[in-house]
Chains A and B, each alone.
Chain A
Amino acid sequence: MPDHPPAGPANPTRREFLVTTGSTAAATVIAACVPAQASSIAEQSTPADNATNIEGAVPITLRINGKEHRLRIDPRTTLLDCLRETVSLTGTKKGCDHGQCGACTVHVNGRRAVSCLSLALMHDGEDITTIEGLGSPDALHPMQAAFVACDGYQCGYCTSGQIMSAVALLKEPCGPDDAAVKELMSGNICRCGAYPNIVAAIQQVRKNA
């Protein structure tokens, strides 16, 4: 692979490639496995009128990253699955799906929570912030910038959860030393073991605050 691939449609980024092929593959698999009405969900790109044909779907309004979303969802839908599959905000990651790894951490009304152990319906009318709402590639949140500067990741899968936790931590009671940060970040597992750099990134932001 060249060091500097030319940009453009002929050279999709890894993310564009995965999104394109992933949605095609998902549509194929879903069409094969579930009742016909559900396959329309994957093909629809507009989330606002999603899932109108799902049996037993109920209405819900979520304010996600400052934008109101009126959705219809199966009551079983977790907040995590709602964000990823219904609203197509895939920055929030599914790790263990049982509240043990922290990859799915988002902010609910400004406080961090694991979105896998919450039903979306429990948050009707509430404010949800995901990694997509923190900053943009052109204007990173200071915590995102610190993770880049301190190399606070390796594979990156846990990173959005780590950053969401870290940003929430800034507003929580937390002692000044590294040990206090480690304790309050213990709900976010990093199997690459980037912990020292994650702590460094958080401490850098706290010192500059």
Chain B
Amino acid sequence: MHTFEFIRPADPDAAIATASQAKTAQQGADVRFIGGGTTLIDLMKLNVETPARVLDINRLPFDKIEATSDGGLKIGATVRNSDLAHHPTVQRDYAVLSQAILNGASAQLRNMATTAGNLLQRTRCMYFRDTAMPCNKREPGTGCPAITGANRMLAILGTSDHCVATNPSDMCIAMAALEATIHIQGTKGPRAIRFGDFHLLPGSTPHRETVLEPGDLVTHVTLPPPIPGSKQVYLKLRDRASYEFALASAAVVITIAGGNVTKARIALGGVGTKPWRSPEAEAALVGKPADAANFRKAAEAALRNAKPQTENGFKIELAKRCLTHALQTAVNA
């Protein structure tokens, strides 16, 4: 691990002022905020991340879960994943979020990992994590060995000729389906980003993963008021029963009236280069009878533009069945 200066900013303004001196807030940032450390310290040990300054934000006032005036929920940046998953309001009104978090990592890691840290969780692509290998995400312009190499775990949606790395988060898939908003405090003041606009597709710049700029500090996430009567399911398929990243997952939030789907919010995990909201699947469902045939049609729509890598063609059918089963489970709930 490279040497760094450890700083505990006295308040958010001090944290932002120091972070704003960074050249970038993306891959290779010379200033990093640290929350749980479960991603950052891992990558610092691998020399994938080499910040000169590490800003500990754990004692800043971002550790609360509170109701918002519009009936939604405000989740502080440093709220631990386990606290979020077990919060009574989340379990009652945003069950898909609780389920997604509890399907991720281990109990120890969930006690450490934070809300904002999970938003910024990095890919598990082995080429990204190995500094002996080329990687366009880690070192722009060096190439992507994953495209012709070990890509079984990697993405089939949102890929480019430069990067096929999967976003590994479970929490983010649920937040995408819940239409969360990410709140950022920066050098120019606060701003709010819709969840779907926060993560970037790799395109020709896979080292840019989010809209964050130097000095931007995620302060909290808000969830809109719960959809009355919605049924929510997170289904995760993986190589072992627990403590493993998704091969495919689906977050489903739907309402049904008179046997027809009236609202549908659908996102897929383990298959996309970013948390993958599927408006195609949603459009295929709304107004249609909530039955197996229409669930399959929605799944076909969600994966229509999927592009298999050399080793993961199975993910297309797996993701379809995952979404179909998640919808069926939601209806039966």
Q: Contacts A98-B45, A102-B106, A186-B243: A119 and B6 contacting too (C-beta < 8 A)?
A: yes
The reply to whether the CB of B143 lies closer than 8 angstroms to some CB of chain A is no
Q: Of A58, A121, A173, A187, which one neighbours B108 at CB under 8 angstroms?
A: A187
The reply to whether the CB of A127 lies closer than 8 angstroms to some CB of chain B is no
Are B112 and A183 in touch, CB under 8 angstroms?
no
A188: chain B residues within 8 A (beta carbon) = 106
The reply to whether the CB of B317 lies closer than 8 angstroms to some CB of chain A is no
Q: Of A99, A113, A186, which one neighbours B242 at CB under 8 angstroms?
A: A186
Are A112 and B45 in touch, CB under 8 angstroms?
no
Are B37 and A165 in touch, CB under 8 angstroms?
no
B:22-63 near A, CB below 8 Å? 34, 36-38, 41-42, 45, 54, 56, 58
Interface residues on A, range: 20 to 34
A22 CB, min distance to chain B CBs, angstroms: 23
The residues of A with any CB-CB pair to B shorter than 8 Å are: 56, 58, 74-76, 78, 97-99, 102, 105, 108, 111-114, 116-119, 121-122, 165, 168-169, 172-173, 182-188
B235 CB, min distance to chain A CBs, angstroms: 15
Report B223-249 CB contacts with A as 1/0, cut-off 8 Å: 000000000000000000111000000
Q: Of B34, B42, B54, B106, which one neighbours A98 at CB under 8 angstroms?
A: B42
Candidate in A117, A118, A119 with the most chain B CB atoms within 10 angstroms = A117
B:103-151 near A, CB below 8 Å? 105-109, 111-112
The reply to whether the CB of B3 lies closer than 8 angstroms to some CB of chain A is yes
The reply to whether the CB of B86 lies closer than 8 angstroms to some CB of chain A is yes
B88 CB, min distance to chain A CBs, angstroms: 11
A184: chain B residues within 8 A (beta carbon) = 107
Are A117 and B42 in touch, CB under 8 angstroms?
yes
Q: List 8 A-B contacts (CB under 8 A).
A: A75-B4, A76-B3, A102-B106, A113-B112, A119-B34, A119-B37, A182-B242, A183-B242
Closest to A161 in B: B108
B37: chain A residues within 8 A (beta carbon) = 117-119, 122
A97: chain B residues within 8 A (beta carbon) = 45
A112: chain B residues within 8 A (beta carbon) = 107-108, 111
A121 to B111, CA, bound (A): 18
The reply to whether the CB of B1 lies closer than 8 angstroms to some CB of chain A is yes
The reply to whether the CB of B161 lies closer than 8 angstroms to some CB of chain A is no
The reply to whether the CB of B70 lies closer than 8 angstroms to some CB of chain A is no
B123 CB, min distance to chain A CBs, angstroms: 15
Are A76 and B4 in touch, CB under 8 angstroms?
yes
Are A78 and B41 in touch, CB under 8 angstroms?
yes
Q: Contacts A97-B45, A173-B86, A186-B106: A75 and B38 contacting too (C-beta < 8 A)?
A: no
A76 to B40, CA, bound (A): 12
For the complex of A and B, the 7 pairs showing the least CB-CB separation, nearest first, are A187-B106, A186-B242, A186-B243, A75-B6, A114-B108, A111-B111, A117-B41
Q: Of A111, A121, A172, which one neighbours B56 at CB under 8 angstroms?
A: A121
A165: chain B residues within 8 A (beta carbon) = 107-108
A75 to B277, CA, bound (A): 40
A173 to B3, CA, bound (A): 39
A161 to B297, CA, bound (A): 47
Are B243 and A187 in touch, CB under 8 angstroms?
yes
Are B112 and A118 in touch, CB under 8 angstroms?
yes
Are A114 and B109 in touch, CB under 8 angstroms?
yes
Are B109 and A99 in touch, CB under 8 angstroms?
yes
Are A122 and B34 in touch, CB under 8 angstroms?
yes
Are B108 and A105 in touch, CB under 8 angstroms?
yes
A63 to B5, CA, bound (A): 23
A151 CB, min distance to chain B CBs, angstroms: 23
Q: Of A78, A98, A113, A119, which one neighbours B111 at CB under 8 angstroms?
A: A113
A117 to B86, CA, bound (A): 23
B122 CB, min distance to chain A CBs, angstroms: 13
A193 CB, min distance to chain B CBs, angstroms: 14
Closest to B111 in A: A111
A97 to B41, CA, bound (A): 10
A182: chain B residues within 8 A (beta carbon) = 242
A168 to B241, CA, bound (A): 22
